């Protein structure tokens, strides 16, 4: 059917800070002024002038001429400029390159920049050269850029309005840009919509005049109900980060285009039940408890990220049943926890905490009583996972004899000795260090009888999980002298934030180091976590990869290329895969790749097809019996 003229959608796109991530004249300045004695001052002046012009506080021609005079540019600089700009195309523009190739007649570039560098960049995306309208540079005989073509309508204020008027486009005109001159087109009635483009820069004076805010080109296509590279714009995916997750994670997720809210403290169950509504991704550390009740209230939740090692604070089973993968950082803070354990062993062996307290009270208590080297002592590690194993290696290098116990068969590192029972380990060890996880069955793992099995005068560390140790039993062991030093970093009940009070039965006990759950709280560990967890979340959202998920079937997928990816999560019941493929056959979908993995609860099917299908296919896939979640990636 022929599309009527009034129904046509035209996309008129600005170049600087819209089609590209940068202002082209700023980049030209970096090139042309590379050896200039006033380089830094001129570059800053160019940026200031650009901002004044974009905000409408300086006339366009005045802004362009002022920048040309500062640039010291030459025609010889243009090839490098074009090369750089080609690498700095806005991410979502680049992601949607197919759209531009499919709609060359409907796409225009109208810019106050210069054709000399704009045309070579945009034509690589299928945009027609005669659909590019921009200023012209004027060169002298040596190729120096000395002026602009002052007869070009785009060199004056209101030039974009006049240019679009001259095109006489019939249909819906969508003006897309980051500057005041782009808004002027809408103001003059020459565009039906003005999208303030904020992927690269946000200008408040421009945003307040916009019909729509567009954090990406995906958002524009989604708003216009047109197919794009993403089936769902990332800015519409809302993320909630709790407990002061490292700012690097926040920046990384925002850079990817997601809408992120960061909250400094933990939330209790009722607070989280209210806050979780409408949230697609939840990130937290160890304090916030994500219960079955919270998950039932999560009407949009797609994934969760634990910015720590443990995930016992999350009901991963209920999350699995709801089709929500959970990711954590199993190795990112291992070194930090191990170093704290080593530091506390040495400190407790020397009684440093009590001696430090005495000194601050004016008491000089120089004595070798109950003060020992760790060299030659026997370290008993309960839980030989990534932390326990690394502690084993470092402790052995310090001259300790290492023994370990784990329910799972683990290969000994170095000269460590495996103990067959926990009783065997406790009867040997001079230092006992717990490194087990916080699964429910590990609650009250270490009880009074275990302390009684120990040698007299032992050092005890719990840097694992608060509920795994009977605190009153530990207190009794310290007061009786069975334990002559204890280091505890985790507690059965912990404050939700630094503003809440802390209490414990262990407060005030001799040679007892209490720390506020800081085992993984080093800058290095938090930076590692802030890199690892967002990458896993983004990978799942963007591609469907579930590698390293703690509760989901783990699938590592090939890159999505020239296909559409269908992600289907269902209850693990016989015959579901057949129903999926029968549905695809009904729509004549050609499958180019398919992956299935199951566990005892769910099945996870990823199907790549080579043709785009509409909402009817999605509806049909969602109606398949036992479906939990379905989504499509373009």
Residues carrying an active site annotation: 465, 494, 517
Distance (Å, whole) CA 172 – CA 192: 6
**Cβ–Cβ contacts within 10 Å for residue 145, how many?**
22
DSSP structure class, residue 632: E
Residue 418 contacts residue 412 (beta carbons within 8 Å): yes
**Cβ–Cβ contacts within 10 Å for residue 427, how many?**
13
Helix (H/G/I), strand (E/B), else coil: 357: helix
Residue 469 contacts residue 493 (beta carbons within 8 Å): no
Angle between helices 334-350 and 386-397 (to 10 degrees): 50
For residue 150, give both structure tokens.
Answer: 């002052």
Task: Mark out the alpha helices in 351-507 (DSSP H runs).
Answer: 352-360, 386-397, 422-428, 448-453, 471-480
Distance (Å, whole) CA 216 – CA 222: 10
Residue 518 contacts residue 488 (beta carbons within 8 Å): no
Distance (Å, whole) CA 352 – CA 364: 13
Q: Is 318 left (phi over 0), alpha (psi -120 to 50) or beta?
A: alpha
Helix (H/G/I), strand (E/B), else coil: 362: coil
Distance (Å, whole) CA 405 – CA 421: 7
Q: At 246, phi and psi to the nearest 5?
A: -50, 135
**Cβ–Cβ contacts within 10 Å for residue 547, how many?**
13
Distance (Å, whole) CA 110 – CA 184: 13
Residue owning tokens 């009880």: 447
3-state helix, strand, coil in the chain (%, to 5): 40, 20, 40
Distance (Å, whole) CA 299 – CA 294: 10
Distance (Å, whole) CA 260 – CA 566: 26
**Cβ–Cβ contacts within 10 Å for residue 222, how many?**
19
Angle at 446 between CA 475 and CA 267, to 5 degrees: 85
Instruction: Give, in order, the Cα–Cα distances in Å from 382 to each of 262, 329, 339, 432, 448.
Output: 36, 21, 17, 7, 16
Distance (Å, whole) CA 354 – CA 498: 25
Residue 487 contacts residue 349 (beta carbons within 8 Å): no
For residue 238, give both structure tokens.
Answer: 């809302």
For residue 16, give both structure tokens.
Answer: 């600087």
Distance (Å, whole) CA 255 – CA 531: 13
């Amino acid at each position: 059917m022929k599309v009527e003229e009034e129904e046509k959608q035209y996309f008129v796109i600005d170049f600087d800070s819209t089609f590209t991530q940068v202002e082209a004249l700023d980049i030209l300045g970096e090139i042309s002024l590379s050896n200039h004695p006033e380089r830094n001052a001129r570059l800053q002046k160019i940026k200031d002038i650009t901002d004044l012009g974009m905000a409408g506080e300086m006339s366009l021609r005045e802004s362009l001429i002022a920048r040309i005079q500062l640039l010291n540019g030459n025609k010889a600089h243009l090839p490098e400029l074009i090369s750089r700009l080609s690498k700095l195309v806005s991410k979502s523009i680049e992601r949607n390159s197919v759209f531009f190739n499919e709609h060359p007649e409907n796409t225009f570039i109208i810019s106050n920049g210069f054709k000399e560098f704009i045309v070579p960049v945009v034509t690589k995306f299928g945009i027609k050269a005669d659909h590019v309208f921009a200023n012209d540079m004027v060169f002298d005989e040596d190729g120096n850029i000395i002026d602009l073509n002052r007869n070009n309508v785009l060199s004056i204020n209101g030039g974009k309005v006049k240019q679009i008027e001259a095109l006489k486009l019939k249909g819906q005109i969508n003006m897309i840009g980051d500057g005041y001159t782009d808004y002027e087109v809408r103001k003059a009635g020459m565009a039906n919509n003005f999208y303030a483009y904020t992927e690269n820069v946000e200008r408040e004076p421009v945003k307040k005049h916009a019909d729509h805010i567009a954090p990406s080109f995906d958002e524009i296509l989604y708003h216009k109900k047109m197919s794009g590279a993403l089936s769902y714009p990332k800015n519409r995916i809302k993320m909630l980060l709790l407990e002061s997750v490292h700012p690097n994670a926040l920046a990384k997720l925002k850079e990817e285009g997601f809408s992120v809210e960061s909250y400094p403290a933990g939330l209790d169950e009722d607070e989280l039940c209210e806050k979780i509504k409408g949230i697609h991704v939840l990130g937290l550390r160890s304090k916030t408890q994500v219960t079955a009740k919270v998950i039932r209230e999560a009407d949009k939740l797609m994934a969760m990220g634990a910015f720590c090692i443990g995930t016992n604070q999350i009901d991963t089973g209920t999350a699995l049943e709801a089709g929500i993968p959970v990711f954590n950082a199993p190795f990112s803070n291992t070194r930090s926890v191990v170093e704290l354990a080593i530091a506390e062993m040495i400190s407790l062996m020397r009684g440093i905490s009590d001696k430090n307290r005495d000194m601050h009270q004016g008491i000089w208590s120089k004595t070798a009583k109950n003060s020992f080297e760790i060299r030659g002592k026997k370290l008993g590690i309960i839980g030989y996972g990534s932390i326990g194993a690394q502690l084993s290696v470092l402790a052995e290098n310090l001259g300790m004899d290492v023994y370990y116990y784990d329910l799972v068969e683990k290969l000994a590192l170095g000269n460590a000795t495996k103990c067959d029972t926990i009783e065997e380990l406790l009867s040997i060890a001079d230092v006992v260090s717990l490194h087990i996880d916080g699964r429910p069955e590990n609650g009250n793992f270490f009880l009074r009888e275990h302390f009684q099995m120990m040698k007299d005068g032992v050092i005890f560390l719990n840097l694992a999980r608060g509920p795994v140790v009977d605190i009153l039993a530990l207190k009794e062991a310290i007061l009786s002298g069975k334990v002559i030093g204890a280091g505890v970093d985790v507690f059965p009940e912990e404050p939700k934030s630094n503003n809440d009070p802390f209490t414990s039965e262990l407060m005030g006990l001799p040679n007892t180091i209490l720390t506020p759950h800081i085992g993984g709280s080093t800058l290095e560990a938090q930076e590692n976590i802030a890199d690892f967890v967002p990458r896993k979340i983004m990978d799942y959202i963007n591609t469907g990869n579930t590698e390293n998920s703690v509760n989901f079937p783990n699938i590592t997928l090939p890159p999505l290329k020239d296909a559409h990816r269908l992600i289907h999560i269902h209850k693990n019941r016989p015959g579901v895969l057949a129903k999926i493929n029968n549905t695809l056959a009904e729509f004549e979908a050609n499958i180019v790749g398919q992956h299935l993995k199951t566990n005892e609860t769910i099945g996870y099917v990823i199907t790549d097809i080579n043709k785009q299908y509409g909402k009817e296919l999605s509806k049909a896939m969602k109606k398949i019996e036992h479906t939990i979640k379905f989504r499509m990636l373009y």
